């Protein structure tokens, strides 16, 4: 089974390049299933709209994962229970589900979304135990963990903890792709962060002047999505061949 995983879609620029490039990615990499992290896909970079979710499904996306901005657009509450949207599993009580099982021919893919706790929200269930529990409870052919976390150390640690238990652990959230894609010693495919799909020349998607001024002067104005040329970051995972490859497309 080959799975295309696309990193955090940020604002209108991310939506635009994703929908423009998806057919090209399908033709080149021939994935069986497509998973997209879309927790930043609304116009302000927070949450997801129903209209974009429908566009993703119509374009052939199999499952959508989220993150710390999952509830950034309240519209999601109206349709999450009937969707293939996976919110972080380690929320204590929340609408929707923390995992999805997708069938392809005679095989199944278990997709789990988790939030890290370091430098984020500590009021979460332990993502290490939560991931292990969900994997053990579902006898899926393959499993893919989207670990939405700030600290690289927490991501690497989860990869090693699930090595040999999960088919793949991919990191999201920091919006900067890492160059450490590899197969761990127990066979799990791993990358610390897939990167962002959205503005190339902002600061992790935000207008660069806003963020630079924030560091220079200590004052701030609300984030605005950068208007620059766009990029798409993704990985293609082959669970039979045990390979993971980074993909970077620049508009």
| Residues involved in catalysis | 69
39 is in an annotated binding site: yes
| E-assigned strand segments in the chain | 2-6, 33-37, 63-65, 85-86, 99-104, 107-115, 142-148, 168-172, 182-183, 189-191, 198-199, 230-238, 243-250
Distance CA 28, CA 24 (A): 6
Decide the pairing of beta strands 2-6 and 33-37.
Answer: parallel
Q: Provide the angle, in degrees to the nearest 10, between the axes of the packed helices 50-58 and 11-29.
A: 10
Helices (H), 80-206: 127-137, 152-161
- Do 144 and 167 touch, CB atoms closer than 8 A? yes
And the tokens for 214?
């924030």
Q: Residue 14 and residue 237: Cα distance in Å, rounded?
A: 21
Q: Is 8 annotated as a binding residue?
A: yes
Show the tokens assigned to 148. 């939405």
Cβ pair 205, 196 in contact under 8 A: yes
219 is in an annotated binding site: no
Which parts are annotated binding residues for Fe cation?
8, 39-40, 68, 148, 173, 175
Which parts are annotated binding residues?
8, 39-40, 68, 148, 173, 175
């Amino acid at each position: 089974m080959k799975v295309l995983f696309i990193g955090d879609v940020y604002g209108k620029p991310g939506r635009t390049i994703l929908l423009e490039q998806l057919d090209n990615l399908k033709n080149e990499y021939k994935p069986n299933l497509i998973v997209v992290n879309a927790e930043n896909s609304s116009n302000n970079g927070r949450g997801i709209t129903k209209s974009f979710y429908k566009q993703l499904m119509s374009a052939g996306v199999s499952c959508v994962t989220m993150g710390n901005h999952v509830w950034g657009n309240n519209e999601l509450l109206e349709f999450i229970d009937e969707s293939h949207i996976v919110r972080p599993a380690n929320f204590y009580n929340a609408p929707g589900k923390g995992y999805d099982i997708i069938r392809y021919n005679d095989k199944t893919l278990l997709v789990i979304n988790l939030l890290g706790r370091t430098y984020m929200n500590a009021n979460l269930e332990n993502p290490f135990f939560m991931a292990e529990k969900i994997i053990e409870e579902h006898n899926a052919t393959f499993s893919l963990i989207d670990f939405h976390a700030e600290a690289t150390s927490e991501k690497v640690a989860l990869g090693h903890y699930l090595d040999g238990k999960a088919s793949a652990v991919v990191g999201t959230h920091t919006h900067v792709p890492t160059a450490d894609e590899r197969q761990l010693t127990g066979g799990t495919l791993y990358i610390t962060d897939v990167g962002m799909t959205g503005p190339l020349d902002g600061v992790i998607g935000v207008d660069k002047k806003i963020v630079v001024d924030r560091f220079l002067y200590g004052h701030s104005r609300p984030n605005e999505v950068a208007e620059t040329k766009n990029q798409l970051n993704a990985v293609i995972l082959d669970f039979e061949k045990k390979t993971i490859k980074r993909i970077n497309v620049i508009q």
